[in-house]
């Protein structure tokens, strides 16, 4: 099974994907993690990707798509995967369809998370992530704080804040980029009949863990 997580930054994609991954044993694949791994290992694609990332630019499809294709060929993804951060554009979605078709797979479910903008900004400013690359558990100093401030409950590693989570102006710019580039994917997957949109918001007392439990119990176990 191939699951795609859609939604702007701060909507809880990582949380939902992580919980579903634990239950299904499907690997949670993040393009950010793929970039960091290839850069650290100094692969040919990683060296090229770093040229764009270091300047704050988006990595072009001719680099991103092959990286994702290579990751999907690894053994732990032979039964499928949960993609977080890819595809970001219609062009990438079409490339993914071709990649999956070659191995007899297809996109089975697209989970689109929606959260009010002001809530997203506050959530990103208060988001903290485990610095251990083997853990990467996500916390929120307001909604889901660690038991010990600044320390991961699961592995004991220090928590960190992403550099792009520090400035509300930068966050707003990222949200605008998402709305123009990635939001059209909602219609693309809606037409394919695989889209499931979920609202994640404190205003309705429905958070990422609630969405994950609902999908696990009422969609994936059917």
Say which CATH number the domain at 140 has.
Answer: 3.40.50.300
Identify which has the larger pLDDT, 57 or 137.
137
**In which element (H, E) is residue 19 found?**
helix 13-24
Residue 69: give the domain boundaries: 2-220
| pLDDT (average), residues 12-21 | 91
Q: What is the 3-state secondary structure (H, E, C) of 102-152?
A: HCCCCEEEEEEEECCHHHHHHHHHCEEEECCCCCCCEEECCCECCCECCEC
Q: What is the pLDDT of residue 149?
A: 95
| 56 pLDDT higher than 70 | no
| 164 pLDDT higher than 80 | no
Dump pLDDT digits (tens) for 18-46.
999 999 999 999 888 888 888 889 999 88
Q: 31 by DSSP, 3-state: which? A: helix
Q: Model-level pTM?
A: 0.82
Mean pLDDT, all residues of the chain:
90
Which residues form the catalytic set? 13, 88, 127, 162, 174
Percent of the chain with pLDDT over 70: 99
* Overall domain count for the chain: 1
User: Is 164 in contact with 50 (CB distance < 8 Å)?
Assistant: no
């Amino acid at each position: 099974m191939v699951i795609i997580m859609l939604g702007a930054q701060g909507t809880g994609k990582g949380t939902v994907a992580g919980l579903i991954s634990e239950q299904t044993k499907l690997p949670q694949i993040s393009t950010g993690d793929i970039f960091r791994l290839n850069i650290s290992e100094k692969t040919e694609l990683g060296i090229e990707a770093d040229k764009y990332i270091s300047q704050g630019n988006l990595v072009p499809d001719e680099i991103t798509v092959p990286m994702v294709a290579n990751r999907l060929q690894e053994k732990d993804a032979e039964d499928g995967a949960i993609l977080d951060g890819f595809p970001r554009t219609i062009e990438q979605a079409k490339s993914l369809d071709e990649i999956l078709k070659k191995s007899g797979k297809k996109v089975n479910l697209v989970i689109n998370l929606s959260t009010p903008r002001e809530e997203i900004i506050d959530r990103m400013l208060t988001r903290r992530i485990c610095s251990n690359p083997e853990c990467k558990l996500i916390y929120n100093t307001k909604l889901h704080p660690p038991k010990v401030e600044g320390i991961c409950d699961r592995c004991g590693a220090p928590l960190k804040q992403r550099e792009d989570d520090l400035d509300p102006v930068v966050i707003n710019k990222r949200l605008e980029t998402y709305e123009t580039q990635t939001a059209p994917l909602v219609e693309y997957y809606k037409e394919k009949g695989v889209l499931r949109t979920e609202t994640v918001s404190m205003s309705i007392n429905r958070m990422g863990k609630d969405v994950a439990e609902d999908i696990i119990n009422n969609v994936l176990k059917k």
